[in-house]
Chain A
Amino acid sequence: MDLSFFFVQLISGLTMATFLFLIASGLTLIFGVGKVFNFAHGSFFMLGAYVGYQMSSVWGQNFWLSLVAGGLFAGVLGMVAEFFFLRRIYGRADEGGFQILLTYSFILILDDLVKLVWGTEYKSLAKPESLRGALSFFGIVVPTYNVAVIGIGLFVVIAAWWLLNKTKAGRIARASALDREMLAVLGVNVPMTMTLVFGIATALSGMTGVLAAPLRSVTPGAGIEVIIDSLIVVVLGGLGNFWGAWLAALLIGEVNSFAIVFVPKWATLFSYLVMALTLVFKPEGLFAPRKVRRV
């Protein structure tokens, strides 16, 4: 393998990693803050893609406007779902079971909704005009759009880190993950915080859906497919760990990319293998911080 091909493959892996991370980040955020596992996270991704399709391909709007619309729509719907449904099961005995049932039912409902509105045919969305070509340097060809996606992924990582660590809202969000009662006593509207966090996470998922649409086919049922991949990332990264999710996405993306070169027949096996090994030897996640012992 010559050096330039090595880099080409490295960047291919990075594209995959970025999408994995963008989807997993919202999932991680919700879990990190509210300890909610949102099975329907992928369905907000799908919904975003359809809203983007409607705006761009049907109404002829600008791609970037569609990106915002997809995010907003998914975000608002996410908040509605949290406010009217999820909120009612917090703190119940066996909350985990209820979470799975409830969010799984969101998947079924959103899938049917999409089918009612847009039918079952595959839909397609064009890339924005400015990002259609490819960049070429030192014999390495990378589609401009993929570079933009990688850039957006990096931006989200940095922005999320800044939000969570450097702002008051971020501190409140992190604190509500640790001790909700104390936070409520201090006068913070904890339920509202949860709704907002849920909205931000689903908005992120919706935007990612629009961003992925020019590269994939927009189809009902896409939600359940992306959730499986991002599940691997979330588990590897350590549930609720933002940086962990990013590193895990990079790992899965690159493992996959190089497995395709060296063992093309078994390439799909490797991400599952990494997950299985992690679960056996470090079940709390590859990148989970060491547990602080509580006395």
Chain B
Amino acid sequence: MASPKRIASLCLLLLLTAIVSSAFAQEKVVKIGALYPMTGRSGIYGMDSVAAAEMAVEEINAKGGVAGYKIQFINTDSKAKPDYSVTVAKRYISDDKVHFLFGVVSSAVGLALTEVSKQEKKIFIGTDHAATELTAQNLQPYYFRVSNNTFQSMAAGALYLKELAQTKPWKTIAYIGPDYAYGHAQFEELKFNLDRFGVKYQVVGDFWPKLFESDYTSYITSIVQAKPDILVSGFWGGDTVAFIKQAVPYGLFEKSLYFHPDAGGNYELLSAMGDSLPLGLVLSARHHNNWPDTAMNKDYVTKFHKKTGRYPTYSAEGAYVGVYAIAEAVKKVGSPDDSDALVKALEGMKFQQPEDPEGFVSFIDPASHQIVQMQAIGVTVPNTDFPPATRMLGQWKVYKADELLPPKEWVEKKK
């Protein structure tokens, strides 16, 4: 039998525990559980995203957090694998008690996580993956995307080609892109948008090397033979580097206009290729280090460079913006616990971002949960402001955000 003394000490212990845990509870946090790849081919996007997200977290916490909460950011290597990422996400929710799922470079992982988000009613902020279906036919109430999808890039691309036809008449296009969902979706969306904007064109070839193909020589000679006026490219990452390097000596870029509107203008390409990147290629990406010329963008790029010693690839901005989107929503609602109230807060939310030009503020379209942004398409020009790159994009053409969203009938047809 327990002695009175023993009971008293037990009570004291209980009391102490209560005090300690309440002290912990006073440190209120908004917990973000991210999944970015830190290895493999897309590792650089993961590294940049995590660095930028942490930068945003530091900025917000330094100002005292939001609504009395500090932001806490955790990341696990997604290994770019959907099944593995699902396991981690479930653990995030059950054990780590995260308030938000966050991140993801690969669309395959994004599509898997949006299912977890739907089941568990935890908001998933998408920052990099571009498959349009996440904000169209596969949209669920708890998913939001804060970077462009491929449809927006392709709509801007189609508008660019429409304008180009007026100054420099062209008739034929060929397409080359990786042989999986991302590549095929881009080509289909480009054709849809060209038709939508009434552009006349003839496809003289479409080529589908496998993802991470190393030798494009035979594709290049075949494209040169097909003589398209415009060569549309849907590559990303190192595949673009390899393709351009191999195509230069064949004179492909003098014969056809190289047009790469979704991921071609990523800083990673500009920095990797240096002088060997031809001038006059038409490229874009979801964020540019030298556009828009606003204080916010300059500040963001400089801070990132200071923190990491390198200039950011486009994926970084999505992560940076994603953390701010969460902070804004928590501020509006007053706590991170009520997912449904947070969904309401995020729908239609407007907030300023590094990639917003003067006089424009990005917002989240309440119908599709897709961020609505301007898109700028540029041409490679000499520029040594962001070493090691010796070429950056310039001669910008800018497209209005609301023209770029997929029309309702397109979404309906996909369902």
Q: Residue A120 contacts which of B44, B214, B222 (CB distance < 8 angstroms)?
A: B44
**Contact A221/B41 with A122-B241, A268-B209 known, Cβ cut-off 8 Å:** yes
In chain B between 273 and 291, which residues have their CB closer than 8 angstroms to a CB of chain A? Answer: 273-276
Q: Residue A124 contacts which of B47, B207, B218, B273 (CB distance < 8 angstroms)?
A: B273
Q: Across the interface, do A16 and B218 meet the contact criterion of CB distance under 8 Å?
A: yes
The A/B interface has a contact count, at CB < 8 Å, of: 120
Q: Residue A134 contacts which of B41, B222, B251, B272 (CB distance < 8 angstroms)?
A: B251
A223-B411 Cα distance, complex, nearest whole Å: 41
Q: Across the interface, do A121 and B249 meet the contact criterion of CB distance under 8 Å?
A: no
Shortest Cβ distance from B267 into A: residue: A121
B60 within 8 A of A: no
B39 within 8 A of A: yes
A8 within 8 A of B: yes
Give min CB distance, B248 to chain A, whole Å: 8
In chain A between 114 and 149, which residues have their CB closer than 8 angstroms to a CB of chain B? Answer: 115, 119-124, 126, 132-134, 141, 143-146
A219 within 8 A of B: yes
Name the interface size band of chain B.
Answer: 35 or more
Q: Across the interface, do A267 and B43 meet the contact criterion of CB distance under 8 Å?
A: no
Which DSSP category, helix, strand, loop or mixed, fits chain B's interface? helix
Q: Across the interface, do B44 and A121 meet the contact criterion of CB distance under 8 Å?
A: yes
Give min CB distance, B212 to chain A, whole Å: 5
Q: 1/0 contact trace for B166-184 toward A, CB 8 Å?
A: 0000000000000100000
Number of residues from A at the complex interface, CB < 8 A? 45
Shortest Cβ distance from A143 into B: residue: B249
Q: Across the interface, do B222 and A260 meet the contact criterion of CB distance under 8 Å?
A: yes
The interface residues of chain B lying within 8 Å CB-to-CB of A222 are 214
Give min CB distance, B281 to chain A, whole Å: 16
The interface residues of chain A lying within 8 Å CB-to-CB of B251 are 134, 141
A212 within 8 A of B: yes
Q: Which among B212, B245, B274 has the highest number of chain A CB atoms within 10 Å?
A: B245
A217-B249 Cα distance, complex, nearest whole Å: 16
The interface residues of chain B lying within 8 Å CB-to-CB of A123 are 272
A282 within 8 A of B: no
In chain B between 192 and 221, which residues have their CB closer than 8 angstroms to a CB of chain A? Answer: 205-210, 212-215, 217-221
Q: Across the interface, do A133 and B237 meet the contact criterion of CB distance under 8 Å?
A: no
B310 within 8 A of A: yes
The interface residues of chain A lying within 8 Å CB-to-CB of B40 are 220-221
Q: Across the interface, do B272 and A5 meet the contact criterion of CB distance under 8 Å?
A: no
A108-B241 Cα distance, complex, nearest whole Å: 24
Q: Residue A225 contacts which of B39, B212, B272, B274 (CB distance < 8 angstroms)?
A: B212
In chain B between 89 and 113, which residues have their CB closer than 8 angstroms to a CB of chain A? Answer: none
A22-B40 Cα distance, complex, nearest whole Å: 24
In chain B between 235 and 291, which residues have their CB closer than 8 angstroms to a CB of chain A? Answer: 237-239, 241-242, 245-246, 249-251, 268-269, 271-276
Q: 1/0 contact trace for A232-270 toward B, CB 8 Å?
A: 000000000000000000000000110011001101100
Q: A121-B271, A226-B214, A268-B208 are in contact. List 12 more A-B contacts (CB 8 A).
A: A16-B217, A115-B43, A120-B44, A134-B250, A141-B251, A144-B249, A216-B241, A217-B241, A220-B39, A264-B222, A267-B208, A268-B209
Chain A interface residues (CB < 8 Å from chain B) = 5, 8-9, 12-13, 15-16, 19, 111, 115, 119-124, 126, 132-134, 141, 143-146, 212, 214-217, 219-222, 225-226, 229, 256-257, 260-261, 264-265, 267-268
